[in-house]
Amino acid sequence: MTVEVHSLGCRLNLAESESLRGLLGEAQDLVVINSCAVTAEAVRQTRQAIRRARRARPDARLLVTGCAAEVEHEALAAMPEVDGLVANAAKLDPRAWNVPVPAVRPAQRSHTRGFVQVQNGCDHACTFCVIPQGRGPSRSRSIAEVLEDVALHLEAGVGEIVLTGVDLTSWGGDLRGEPRLGTLCEAILSRFPTLARLRLSSIDGAEVDDVLFDLLAGEARVMPHVHLSLQHGDDLILKRMKRRHSRADAVTLVAALRARRPDIAIGADLIAGFPTEDEAAHAANLSIVEELGVVHGHVFPYSPRPGTPAARMPQVEHAVIRSRAAQLRETVSKVRASWLAAHLGKPLWVLAERGGTGHAPDFAPVRVPAETHPGALVSVVPARVVEGILEA
């Protein structure tokens, strides 16, 4: 009997899936699908994963958790392959899986990079998003709990800690004294002086506090890699999305970071074809990629999600959405190609991963020498770019 956990979607799901593997052990004939519902495509992929898992393990018990298990509850429960659903809020509660409550928290399996969940849920109401329905309101873990998790990962041998959350930069708002994310990062760096690399998952630029800004701009152990929950480059669309920043806010933040740390790499989530998006708005979306120098782009073709205000707005034709998403990806690809080429001839400290590759501090993908053990930090001087990967 074995337990399999399949994770879809965000880094937070990845972190939770690792915790689930440690919680469930190997005493059950069980398959868990940790689902995503951020887009209609994510739900489609969840359904595909369910069918694929059932074909591979026809006799196992198959349970679904995650955001799609909340947002698409009835549809997933009706699938003949599914034996049951576990509420997203209860997924890390041993009682939800009928397993004993451990005396101590289970250690994570050893990986190169350790994902540490510091926050869950969201208090905002972006008009396109169903995640608050799937995750609930924002809840922060205490500094002590986070430090415990970091310690477990480091004991397991990871070389880098990645902080994750649904709305990561809102961490602390529900805790006593309302500390900010910068305070948590300082606590981690202070408590673990041997931690070489601390990385953040997606952040909201509107919530970056002064301490966090200083760490991103000047602390060598905080990786020079910022992934912004940007969503769009047009101010009117941003208002209709109910985002809390303007285009100018994003430009100002990135310029200030680059003034202090010129090598910082910028990533961004971008939505193509949001309702009411005209050609001028699409052009603004394309131009923000070049203005910010977005080299890690997550492009999402807009898809209406049930119960959201954006689903009731005038929609853009599906073929136009696909075309605009392709143009956004092409623009990111061009900016990224120039950025990768700028690494040639420069020594990079690379955290080796499985498969013979790894990542530089700015998250540039790099091929490492064949004998390199996963988790090792190695210096590589790239001489060329092959299929989007830097090679010596």
370 sits in which H/E element: none
Q: And the tokens for 383?
A: 């001489």
What are the extents of the domains in the chain?
3-97, 113-341, 348-391
Q: And the tokens for 77?
A: 């429960």
Give pLDDT tens digits along the chain (392 positions). Answer: 688 999 998 878 887 888 888 788 776 789 999 999 888 888 999 999 999 999 999 999 999 999 998 888 889 999 999 999 998 888 888 878 877 765 445 444 446 888 999 999 999 999 999 888 888 899 999 999 999 999 999 998 899 999 999 999 999 999 999 999 999 999 999 999 999 999 999 999 999 999 999 999 999 999 999 999 999 999 999 999 999 999 999 999 999 999 999 999 999 999 999 999 999 999 999 999 999 999 999 999 999 988 899 999 999 999 999 999 999 999 999 999 999 999 999 999 999 998 899 999 999 999 999 889 988 999 999 999 999 999 99
Q: And the tokens for 179?
A: 């500390």
Q: And the tokens for 151?
A: 């310690």
| φ, ψ at 230 (rounded to 5°) | -80, -55
Burial of 96 (0-12, 13-18, 19+ CB in 10 A): middle
143-155 vs 181-191: helix crossing angle, rounded to 10 = 40
85 DSSP β-pair partners? 64
Assess if CATH 1.10.240.10 describes domain 113-341: no
Distance CA 340, CA 140 (A): 36
- Assign 8 to helix, strand or coil: coil
Query: Which residues does 74 contact at the CB level (< 8 Å), separation at least 6?
Result: none
What is the pairing mode between strands 294-301 and 384-386? unpaired
Residue type, 266: I
Which CATH superfamily hosts domain 3-97? Methylthiotransferase, N-terminal domain (3.40.50.12160)
